[in-house]
Structure 1
Amino acid sequence: MTLRTADEVNRFWFSELTPADWYKKDDALDDQMRDRFFETWEAAEHLHGSWGATARGSLALLILTDQMSRNMMRGHARAFSTDWLARAVTKSAIRRGFDLKIEGSARQFFYLPLEHSEVMQDQEQAVRLIMMRMDAPLMLLHARAHREIIRQFGRFPFRNEVLGRKTSAAERAFLDAGAYGAVLRKLQAEV
């Protein structure tokens, strides 16, 4: 088994990729992440103790468990299987002030596990932290959109199919009307 280090995860994410790569759908990039980091992702629960002891280690663990998981397992339920760990890491890191030790756009990765949560309290915390600790209007808009969907449905309907959940009529109407993009446009219009 070839485990990568926290520094290798951070170097890949912040030096080899650009911010434009972070959120785009790209099969070749997904394959590259899977080839390089899948074994490390599978061992993430065991890395928590050592990587979670520092701000940069926590950042790498969050990228691995909240971001790369979505790339490496795109279209499969396993894409969300380490969300619980990402939330635990992020809550611990925030309590210890690790998020404040990371500058610029990298700080957002401490708040995204809360934004990806289907728990309203996590959504509220994500919005609050982004408002207080970042100067990032676009990121705040996305956090508000995630919160609005959880407020409305208590879950993210666009995950239903891959997670084997039944989609309600209201959720189907939401998905058919543009889902996340429609919520973003509505919130932008309110500003």
Structure 2
Amino acid sequence: MVRLGRLNNLVPTKFTPWKSSYRRSVALPQTRLITTPPHALVAKRLPPQPKVKGFQWSCHFHATPIATAGATQELKQTLVPSLLQEVREFWFDHLSGEDALILPGPNEMKRWFSRDAEFDKACVAQFQPALETIIASGATATEILDAIDISLPLNWLSILLLLDQVPRNCYRGDKSKLVFGLFDPLAEEIALRAIDAGIPTQSSDVRYRLSYRFWFQLPLMHSENVAVHEHACKQYEATAGDIEQFLRREVASLDGDEKKCYDVLSSQQEALQGFLNQTYDFEKRHKVIIERFGRYPHRNQALGRQPTPEESEYLKKGGETFT
């Protein structure tokens, strides 16, 4: 399989590649999103949805100790640019080429959503120390964002992968309570802030590269709040509409990077529609559970929650566990 090489022609920016210890280095560029001042990104929040009872920011869903000055400093020393670069290199290293960044196929998706003991071990070896630092710091979503350069759109992607995806490979079984109770709420709030700041819709690095863009929606899927799922559905619909509108543009109006994305997406419209439908359907499968139970029954054991008779019957009959 051809490995994803240096993407020097992806966007016209300079960067210093960082070598991953898991697989061959993938040089992923970073451009700065200049549409919104960096200080404004942290301050922006998705407005509450007052029509939905119980909607609240996910950082309130779990209890962590107040971060001390020392812990905050250690967090900044941990979430350094090289680590964030490593997360992306590790997560996308298996892609077969630049086209797969724009539209991932079933084989590319399989690695992300199939259980693989070796992949789990690699996640633990490379990223569990950083996750343990986050746990020990008791950091909020705001403090985590303060520790990284949020003017770089791909840093948002990295921190979402680190908080929302990597823990699922590092903490399985009884340890998954850390995933559901701590990392998921952090990832959810950061994803909501990223969406509100326009990272997945305004950044040229992310907007038409579906291998990047859909990770901004996954943390919402993991929420146990129906209001968040309603917002997630709107995001999936907006993505489909955005791509449809993009493919209607005059080719002559596109810049070089947009033209590359256009060529890939327009030449694989059946696969594109399949990807959009599949990812949205997966969100709907999650949402219907939250609408029915108000939570995910398969998380009860890890979180020490007493299941209801209906939840027990649901799982007994083969209800969704997404594992």
- Fold match, TM over 0.5? yes
* Of 5, 11, 25, the match for 2:89: 11
- The residue type paired with residue 95 of structure 1 is D
The yes-or-no answer on 1:158 pairing with 2:298 is yes
CA distance in 2: counterparts of 1:157 and 1:96, whole angstroms: 33
Q: Equivalent residue for 1:62?
A: 160
Q: How does 1:9-88 map to 2 (within 5 A)?
A: 9-16=87-94, 18-44=108-134, 45=139, 47-49=144-146, 50-75=148-173, 76=175, 77-80=177-180, 81-88=182-189
Displacement of 1:47 in angstroms is 4.1
Q: Equivalent residue for 2:315?
A: 175
CA distance in 2: counterparts of 1:133 and 1:43, whole angstroms: 34
The yes-or-no answer on 1:117 pairing with 2:232 is no
- The residue type paired with residue 8 of structure 1 is E
Displacement of 1:48 in angstroms is 2.2
Secondary structure of 2:93's aligned partner = helix
Secondary structure of 1:13's aligned partner = helix
Displacement of 1:51 in angstroms is 4.4
Secondary structure of 1:82's aligned partner = helix
Where does structure 2 lack aligned partners over 5 or more consecutive residues? 1-73, 96-107, 241-272
The number of equivalent residue pairs is 182
Q: Equivalent residue for 2:41?
A: none
* Of 99, 102, 105, the match for 2:200: 99
Displacement of 1:54 in angstroms is 2.6
Secondary structure of 2:223's aligned partner = coil
Which deviates further from its counterpart, 141-150 or 15-24?
15-24
The yes-or-no answer on 1:126 pairing with 2:232 is yes
Label 1:176 to 1:68 Cα distance change in 2 as closer, same or farther (>3 A): same
Secondary structure of 1:5's aligned partner = helix
Displacement of 1:40 in angstroms is 1.9
Label 1:132 to 1:98 Cα distance change in 2 as closer, same or farther (>3 A): same
Residues 99 and 107, structure 1, Cα contact 8 Å, conserved in 2: yes
* Of 275, 286, 308, the match for 1:146: 286
Label 1:43 to 1:53 Cα distance change in 2 as closer, same or farther (>3 A): farther
Displacement of 1:25 in angstroms is 1.3
| Alpha-carbon displacement from aligned partner over 1:134-166 (angstroms, at most 9, x marks no partner) | 451000101001100000000000111111111
TM-score (norm 1): 0.87
Instruction: Give the aligned CA root-mean-square deviation in angstroms.
Output: 2.1
Q: Which has the larger radius of gyration?
A: 2
Moved >6 Å (runs of 4+): none
Which deviates further from its counterpart, 164-173 or 9-18?
9-18
Displacement of 1:131 in angstroms is 1.4
Residues 70 and 79, structure 1, Cα contact 8 Å, conserved in 2: yes
Q: Equivalent residue for 1:187?
A: none
Residues 111 and 129, structure 1, Cα contact 8 Å, conserved in 2: yes
TM-score (norm 2): 0.53
